[in-house]
Structure 1
């Protein structure tokens, strides 16, 4: 229940916005076009099974894991802030 300065339903709006941001981020990270046979970061060969499983793949597994970990660090930051942080 929203109280104070927040309007009714503000919590659900924040949840919806967070979910929509996550969906938009996932869509931006989708691969497009043909898969590469060699990693664009380290030039390691990309196995044919990975090329078939992930259409448009551009990175080998090791480089993809590193890119995923680097992307997770920024995803933990809540840009909207909580109501408590706005009252300080």
Structure 2
């Protein structure tokens, strides 16, 4: 059910667009290329099992964990459409 000026299916289109953006972001963060033998952040050796499991790995587990903690996932686009979200 659409309301106001929105078309039928607009909510689903917003959900689909949000999911598509999240998938693109996740795919862009997948390492590519040849794996490094030592972490590019701390220069600790990267275990062979990790290099085999993740082609193109560049960071050790500890540095990768820290990097993921710092990452944000906001797309910068307000797709909620509620009045409250637009008034802020």
Q: TM-score range by the shorter chain?
A: 0.7 to 0.9
Cα deviation, residue 5, structure 1: 2.5
> What is the CA–CA distance in structure 2 between the aligned matches of 1:53 and 1:37, rounded to whole Å?
13
Which runs of 4 or more aligned residues in structure 1 lie more than 3 Å from their structure 2 counterparts after TM superposition? Answer: none
Cα deviation, residue 78, structure 1: 5.8
User: What TM-score, normalized to structure 2?
Assistant: 0.85
CA RMSD after TM alignment: 1.6
**2:52 match: secondary structure:** helix
Deviations 1:22-77 (A, max 9, x none): 11111111111111010001111101110011111000001101111112xx2146
Query: What runs of 5+ residues in structure 2 fail to find an aligned partner?
Result: none
Cα deviation, residue 79, structure 1: 1.9
Query: What runs of 5+ residues in structure 1 fail to find an aligned partner?
Result: none
Q: Which residue of 2 aligns with 1:36?
A: 36
User: What TM-score, normalized to structure 1?
Assistant: 0.85
Cα deviation, residue 83, structure 1: 1.4
